[in-house]
Amino acid sequence: MRSARELTDRELRDVSGGMKADTGVRNPDVVDARGGSMVIYGVRLTYDQNGHCSSIAPVKT
């Protein structure tokens, strides 16, 4: 059985090498962490860090 434990500072440094970004790649299941999303009447609205709507999609049930 596996158990959870807190990583040491060294372990955190070893695994936190950064993020890979591929420009031009869009994944509709990922919301930009600087913005947010909300669901109104079965439609998901996502917005960017400036509050501008960046996508509108039906909510999948």
Per-residue pLDDT for 40 more than 80? Answer: yes
Average pLDDT over every residue of 17-43: 72
Region 55-59: what's the mean pLDDT?
89
Name the amino acid, one letter, at 40. I
pTM surpassing 0.85?
no
Q: Is residue 30 part of a domain?
A: yes
CA 48, 51, 57, 61 torsion: positive or negative? Answer: positive
The number of distinct structural domains making up the chain is: 1
Domain membership of residue 50 (yes or no) is yes
Domain assignment of residue 47, yes or no: yes
Answer whether residue 61 is part of any domain: yes
Is 47 exposed, middle or buried (CB count within 10 Å of its CB: 0-12, 13-18, 19+)?
middle
Across residues 13-22, what is the average pLDDT? 66
Q: Is residue 16 part of a domain?
A: no
Domain with 31 in it? 25-61
